[in-house]
Amino acid sequence: MNRLSTFNIVSLTLGFAFLYIPMLILVIYSFNESKLVTVWAGFSTKWYGELLQNEAMIDAAWVTVKVAFLSSSLATILGTMAAYVMVRRGRFFGRTLFSGMIYAPLVMPEVITGLSLLLLFIAIGLDRGVLTIVLAHTTFAMCYVSVVVSSRLISFDDSLEEAALDLGATQWEAFRLVTLPIIAPAVISGWLLAFTLSLDDLVIASFTSGPSATTLPIKIFSSVRLGVSPEINALSTIIIAIVTVGVLTASIISKRQITRRLQEEAAA
């Protein structure tokens, strides 16, 4: 139908191949019978079984999920508060500086963030473990949350909260009963984003983790240096599945939110 369609198909295929073939190979080899990663010896799920026996791996996975859950929840609270203050409380002294400082970590190289946090933890004598990773991940994820939430708050009608106050609500009630339910989809996307960022992170976690707590990315990275095992492939496949589900959920939520907002705006 279109003169460019062949060209389009080729470029689409190339693009997607470039992005997804490596992952596809990984997924396929996770079902390989052979111990040798590069030789196909028939279909098997035995590596998934072995993975479940690998306590170090299971521990690391558990730490990762715990860290991701705690840090994303904390980052969501702090990031939402920061966004709220910046967008809703108008101009206050030092606002520009404050907002600049909130967003700076977005462009800061991770190595620097990790290093500075490490120095801080050593300086205050905090033993490295789950707590330090949680704090570190909260620090860098909250900027992302506050970006997501403030972009929603910018289009939020100020008078809604004033109406709540006018009807006798306290500031906190106005936020909890009016603002929060309306911006909830953005807050949830922010949380999911923070969760994924924490799951993914290798650099900052390596700086801030200690012998007592290792996250999955660190575990994978260090075991891969000793050679790729099919177990790692199996593990990676599981992670890919989880991340895919997370991303899909987030995009469905934000799409629904946009549709609903359009409806409501058409009404307003």
Partner 1 sequence: MASSGQAEVFAPWEDPNEVPLIKIAGVTKRFGDFTAIDNVSIDIYRQEFFALLGPSGCGKTTLMRMLAGFETPSEGLISIDGQDMGAVPPNQRAVNMMFQSYALFPHLSVWDNIAFGLRRDGLSKDKVAARVEEMLKLVQLGQFARRKPHQISGGQRQRVALARSLAKAPKLLLLDEPLGALDKKLRQETQFELMDIQEKTGTTFVIVTHDQEEAMTVASRVAVMDHGQLIQVATPEVIYEQPNSVYVADFIGDVNLIEGAVGAIGDGAELLWAEGRAALMGQPGADLSKGSKATFAIRPEKIAISAEEPMDRRNRVQGKILDIGYLGNLSTYHVELPEGPVVKCEVGNRSRIERRDFTWEDEVWLSWSDTAGLVLPG
Dihedral in degrees, nearest 10, Cα atoms 99, 101, 106, 111: -170
Q: Residues interacting with partner 1, by CB under 8 A?
A: 157, 159-160, 162-170, 173, 177-178, 181-182, 263-264, 266-268
The nearer residue to partner 1, 35 or 260, going by C-beta atoms, is: 260
- Give the type of residue at 251: S
- Long-range residue pairs from 83-89, CB within 8 A, at least 24 positions apart, any chain: 83/145, 83/146, 83/147, 83/149, 83/150, 83/153, 84/149, 84/153, 84/175, 84/179, 86/146, 86/150, 87/150, 87/153, 87/154, 87/156, 88/153, 88/156, 88/158, 88/161, 88/179
Please give the C-alpha separations between residue 216 and each of 2, 147, 205, 224, in angstroms, as whole numbers. 47, 27, 10, 12
The nearer residue to partner 1, 118 or 188, going by C-beta atoms, is: 188
Residue 215: both structure tokens together? 């996250």
From the CB of 252, what's the least distance to partner 1, in Å?
19
From the CB of 256, what's the least distance to partner 1, in Å?
13
From the CB of 263, what's the least distance to partner 1, in Å?
5
The nearer residue to partner 1, 212 or 263, going by C-beta atoms, is: 263
From the CB of 181, what's the least distance to partner 1, in Å?
5
The nearer residue to partner 1, 49 or 181, going by C-beta atoms, is: 181
- Residue found under tokens 């106050």: 165
Dihedral in degrees, nearest 10, Cα atoms 169, 171, 173, 174: 80
| Cβ 146 vs Cβ 80: under 8 Å | yes
From the CB of 191, what's the least distance to partner 1, in Å?
19
The nearer residue to partner 1, 8 or 155, going by C-beta atoms, is: 155
The nearer residue to partner 1, 127 or 173, going by C-beta atoms, is: 173
From the CB of 166, what's the least distance to partner 1, in Å?
5
- Give the type of residue at 227: G
Q: Is the dihedral of CA 47, 48, 51, 53 positive or negative?
A: negative
The nearer residue to partner 1, 8 or 171, going by C-beta atoms, is: 171
The nearer residue to partner 1, 43 or 172, going by C-beta atoms, is: 172
Classified as helix, coil or strand, 32 is: strand
From the CB of 257, what's the least distance to partner 1, in Å?
12
From the CB of 180, what's the least distance to partner 1, in Å?
10
